[in-house]
Amino acid sequence: MSTTDPLAFAAARRVVLCVGPGGVGKTTCAAALALGSAQRGRRVLVVTIDPSRRLAQALGFHTTGAGTPIEGGAPVEVALPPDGALAGPGGSLHALWLATEQVFAELVRSFAETPAAAEAILRNPIYKAMAENLGGALEYAAMAKLQLLHAARSYDLIVLDTPPTANAIDFLTAPERIHELAQNPAARLLTGGGRLGARLLGIGNNLVLRTLSSLAGSNFITELGAFLRDFSGVLATFQARAGDFQSLLRSPDTGVVLATSASPFSVREALDFLAVLHQRGLRVDSVVLNRVLPPFPPAPPRDAILAALAAQLPAPVLADSLQRISAAYAGLVAQGQQSLEARTTLARAYPNLPLWLLPQREPPPTSLADLHELVSQFVRAA
């Protein structure tokens, strides 16, 4: 692997999962990796989960009148300039905003026994509430859509921005709870019992059940059992035809980039997640330490700062200004030290795993030009 090109690994992959703790900039990293690969001449699709409003607009998603981005049911082409640094020779970039309900509807229409059976499931008043409350639904939808896109072979590379979760490992474990429904005969039998099936699917709390009962009427429990049974049949057919999603994750086609920040909590979670990824046989290609600040030297002597301020500020505000500047600089020193410690911790734990550093940006990247600049700012840790 090249020591100077953060995208060298992607040439051998058809799928790249961008994973990591929540709030560390996974979406931005995924978009930057996708853009960089498109510039190298590949047909790239980035599947994003929850982009910021301005980043969503940069990726070509429509907005409401209030400027709020809305999901699209199909990939949209990102309009790269035909000339200049943003354009890749022969490459293209598309973006898809993943919507859980749309993925489930696609599965139902494609894998129900008949078109009539599919429409019956989709018309069921329980369907929408189930899709919204199903434990692990977003994670399962992400993996299901990834399987469908990979099988279609419309793109050279698919970059998946994994769902934001309280625990990064949930991305791997949550879909398995739904997968069990489709594969385990005992679980399918439970769905015929209504309430037990609801509990199995993670929608068994009383508040949700009462809400659904008000929608479905007095025959709610019976209808719920029948609905879950039919829906598990759809999932079983999909898995039988598409294969176990774990097989795709372990395939040589698939690589993983783990993004994290320098906060001690994020670094600890990243290390735990890396251990799980390796235990499950996934190919981790690199780690991105995002929002890095450099080490800062000690602050100048207090008297020197005060003298510099006295030449610019009136005496009544000198003391308060000195305190604010000292506190702000101390914060930068602490963040720089935190970045250094995070880099050292990750490198020691996985010395053979490429570690890339990305500087902290204010404001965060929100345009294609910003993402292009970000691609050039990956620095390989020595």
Token pair 């299901």 in the structure block, residue: 144
Q: Which residues contact 108 (CB under 8 A, 6 or more apart)?
A: 118, 121, 122, 231, 234
Contact indicator for 285, 253 with CB cutoff of 8 Å = no
Least-confidence region, from 214-223, 268-277, 289-298: 214-223
Taking residue 305's Cβ as centre, other Cβ atoms within 10 Å add up to 17
Tokens 């993402």 found at:
371
Distance, CA of 185 to CA of 195 (rounded, Å)? 17
- Rounded to two decimals, what is the model's pTM? 0.83
Distances from the Cα of 189 to the Cαs of 101, 118, 297, in angstroms? 25, 21, 66
For 324-354, write each residue's pLDDT tens digit: 999 999 999 999 999 999 999 999 999 999 9
Q: Do residues 108 and 122 make contact, with C-beta atoms less than 8 angstroms apart?
A: yes
pLDDT at 302: 87
pLDDT of 19 above 70: yes
**Rounded CA separation 37/366 (Å):** 18
Q: Is residue 310 pLDDT above 70, yes or no?
A: yes
Alpha-carbon distance of 140 to 144, in angstroms, equals: 6
Question: What pLDDT was estimated at residue 100?
Answer: 84
User: Residue 16 pLDDT more than 80?
Assistant: yes
- The Cβ-side half-sphere exposure at 153, using a 13 Å CA radius, reads 2
Give the amino acid at 1: M
User: What are the tens digits of pLDDT across the range 29-76?
Assistant: 999 999 999 988 899 999 988 777 777 877 877 655 544 455 556 888
CA dihedral of 353, 354, 355, 358, whole degrees rounded to 10: -150
Q: How far apart are CA 356 and CA 375, in angstroms?
A: 11
Residue 258 is predicted with a pLDDT of 95
Contact between 138 and 47 under an 8 Å Cβ cutoff? The reply is no
**CA 15 centroid distance within chain:** 14
